Chain A
Amino acid sequence: DVKVTQSSRYLVKRTGEKVFLECVQDMDHENMFWYRQDPGLGLRLIYFSYDVKMKEKGDIPEGYSVSREKKERFSLILESASTNQTSMYLCASSPFNQPQHFGDGTRLSIL
């Protein structure tokens, strides 16, 4: 079974903090993705990566950055957290031309 593991289920941070969300997949997938999920808006893509050290902006990259130093790990970084970044964050991975597999999400609250 494919396993996509997100390091935290719940996270509470303060405005202005630098926040790191970690995601690890154990299936040697080339592609990795970060989405945020908000009620009524579905999932919106923040960033994705097709290979180590490669990254592409998604639909809503503002206020976020990513890092992929190893194939199995994809990190989402909130440079200076703001209250409008309170959301559920979902990581996904996929082999080339195969469906995405999702982690169980990190619910992030920015106070």
Chain B
Amino acid sequence: QQQVKQSPQSLIVQKGGISIINCAYENTAFDYFPWYQQFPGKGPALLIAIRPDVSEKKEGRFTISFNKSAKQFSLHIMDSQPGDSATYFCAAALNNAGNMLTFGGGTRLMVKP
């Protein structure tokens, strides 16, 4: 039983477009929601994270939108670039950022030039 569900599994976007990846969680006790980016042959790297006391967080071209009542959060990549092509994972954790993470299934993003 997956506590964090991620969609879509794969996504193709044209260069300059907006990439949107969605996640839904079940456990209302989760209080830390990071997104990780993984390139082939590399481990996941933290991209951006949010706590449920804010509805949006933006870092450069990357934005997390958070809807606490719907138990959903999403990653928006504005002006998507070929270099953004990677696998993206959402995750959730209890109590603190260093605690065990529950991951979504991942989204493989391809940005076409």
User: Interface residues, chain A, CB within 8 Å of chain B?
Assistant: 4, 30-31, 33, 35, 39-45, 48, 56, 58-59, 90, 92, 94-105
Contact = CB atoms under 8 A, between A and B. Distances in A.
Interface residues of B, number: 25
B49 A44 contact: no
22 contacts: A4-B43, A35-B103, A40-B9, A41-B2, A42-B4, A42-B104, A42-B105, A43-B44, A43-B89, A43-B91, A44-B103, A45-B102, A48-B100, A90-B43, A95-B98, A97-B98, A98-B98, A99-B98, A100-B98, A102-B43, A103-B43, A104-B41
B96 A43 contact: no
A104 B103 contact: no
Contact of A99 (B34, B43, B105, B106): B34
B97 A41 contact: no
A31 B36 CA distance: 18
Contacts, number: 65
A40 B106 contact: yes
Interface of B: 2, 4, 6, 9, 34, 36, 41-46, 49, 89, 91, 96-98, 100-106
